[in-house]
């Protein structure tokens, strides 16, 4: 089942599942990078898919990217 995400639903998910805040105000699709503010104060960009599915919920300083295989 394809769940339709709106900016309001994404904001609610971010608030409930991370310490980061969503700064982006419009959502145009799963490939769009969204702007977040990490708990440390740094801004970072991730697609919502990566944020949601890969647990990449902090900036690259607080949560360094995992090495590629």
Whether residue 66 is contained in a domain is answered as no
Count of structural domains, the chain: 1
Evaluate whether residue 16 is within a structural domain.
Answer: yes
Residue 1 has pLDDT above 50, yes or no: no
Contact assessment for residue 39 and residue 59, using Cβ atoms and an 8 Å cutoff: no
pTM (two decimals): 0.86
The verdict on residue 22 lying in a domain is yes
3 versus 15: the higher-pLDDT residue is 15
How many whole angstroms separate alpha carbon 29 and alpha carbon 6? 9
Q: Mean of the per-residue pLDDT values for the chain?
A: 90
Domain of residue 16, residue span: 7-54
Q: Within a domain: residue 69?
A: no
């Amino acid at each position: 089942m394809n769940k339709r995400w709106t900016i309001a639903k994404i904001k609610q998910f971010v608030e409930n599942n991370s310490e980061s805040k969503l700064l982006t105000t419009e959502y145009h699709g799963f490939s769009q990078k969204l702007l977040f503010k990490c708990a440390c104060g740094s801004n970072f960009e991730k697609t919502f898919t990566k944020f949601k599915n890969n647990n990449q919920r902090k900036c690259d300083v607080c949560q360094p990217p995992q090495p590629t295989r």
